Amino acid sequence: MHKMTGSGNDFVLLDGRSAVPEAWPAARVAALCDRRAGVGADGLVILTPEGPGAIRMTYWNADGSRAAMCGNAALCSARLAVHLELVPPGELCLLTDAGVVRARAPVGGDQAEIGLPGFEVAREVEGLEPAAGERWMGFAQVGVPHLVVRVDDIERIDLLGRGRSLRFSPRLGAAGANVNFVAPGPAGQPWLIRTYERGIEGETLACGTGTVAAGLLLAARGEASLPVTLRSRGGEPLLVEADLNGDRASNVWLGGQGKLVFRAVWEADGFDPAAPASVTPNCTTK
């Protein structure tokens, strides 16, 4: 298995030539992603070759629930697919539950780009009103649903309390939505973004599709010009490019990090803590 990070959003990725999704029920995924008893990750990805230049990207959240798409996981998937020689460097296609995602991963480095299907942005969300310190809310379905909340100060938000309340708002449907808080950075610096992510049920250090949603809503409201750079909680910048015609976004691209951290073998399955050790150390002192 391979551990990767995309701007602090981290994942375990498996080579689909030797791993199949059917072998990963929700409980096993959650055990792998557990940060104390497992490897620790925001999600699990299996990459399976599906023909020339095409990779099936199967994705689970850390709690074992399937998700249609994850932007940072897609950036990591594109990089690893090239690293493992599942596809040649350059352009490739990721086949996700949210549809076909175009990607670019050059030789070397830890950067990649993904192209996303067009979508509509909603500048208002009926029935949801900004709280103190919040200026507006907007919504976009970027593979998965995102509520974007424009705030004055990214450090003063109650991310867990306010984020959880909005994530489960009935106004966002039965499945709820990820909640992305966005605020201006220091003068001349990128916009800042923090995310309460469903399936994690807490803060993640980066959210690729949420960054796209935030960037497009900032542009739609005239607060930013495309392309726009946003800095995640993990500290890495993400670049959002798109054509925006009214509230319709097209030719959408996200650029960011897909860094390989380590390779490993997970020994949890089949391990019997009651079994005798194969080697008994000699602890006699003289």
Following DSSP, what letter does each residue of 89-135 receive, concatenated?
SEEEEEEETTEEEEEEE-SSSSEEEEEE--EEEES--TT----TTEE
Is the link from the previous residue into 52 a cis peptide, with omega within 30 of 0?
A: no
Cα torsion 155, 244, 189, 71 to 10°: value is: 60
Pairwise CA distance, residues 234 & 85, whole Å: 28
The answer to whether 207 is a known catalytic residue is yes
The residue from 33, 76, 93, 207 that is catalytic is 207
> Cβ(260)–Cβ(79) under 8 Å?
yes
- Taking only Cα atoms into account, the Rg of the chain, rounded to an integer number of angstroms, comes to 20
The residue from 33, 70, 76, 93 that is catalytic is 70
Pairwise CA distance, residues 213 & 197, whole Å: 14
Q: What token pair was written down for 282?
A: 């000699």
The answer to whether 70 is a known catalytic residue is yes
- At residue 76, the 3 state secondary structure works out as helix
Q: What token pair was written down for 74?
A: 């897609």
Residues with catalytic roles: 70, 207
